[in-house]
């Protein structure tokens, strides 16, 4: 199951989901609510995808 731990400063958000697509939806919702990123910028999106553990 893919999982992700946010690397934002002082951010403790961690999540997992059955598929990477579902995980990305959760990450996008978190990025919008907690970090004011809507959408996630392309350079940050690359870092997010690299941080996903499968």
What per-residue confidence (pLDDT) applies to 52? 98
Q: Please choose, from the candidates 43, 51, 3, 44, the residue with its C-alpha nearest in 3D space to the C-alpha of residue 26.
A: 3
Phi-psi region of 52 (alpha: psi -120 to 50; beta: other; left: phi over 0): beta
Determine the pLDDT at residue 28. Answer: 98
pTM equals 0.94
Cα angle for residues 30, 23, 2 (degrees, 5° grid): 130
- The partner residues of 3 in beta bridges, in order of sequence, read 16, 53
Q: Using one digit for the tens of pLDDT, what is the confidence trace for 1-45?
A: 999 999 999 999 999 999 999 999 999 999 999 999 999 999 999
What is the residue whose two structure tokens read 């499968």? 54
């Amino acid at each position: 199951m893919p999982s992700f731990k946010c690397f934002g400063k002082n951010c403790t958000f961690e999540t997992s989901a059955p598929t990477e697509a579902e995980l990305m939806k959760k990450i996008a919702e978190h990025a919008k609510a907690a970090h004011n990123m809507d959408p996630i910028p392309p350079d940050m999106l690359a870092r997010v995808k690299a941080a996903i553990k499968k």
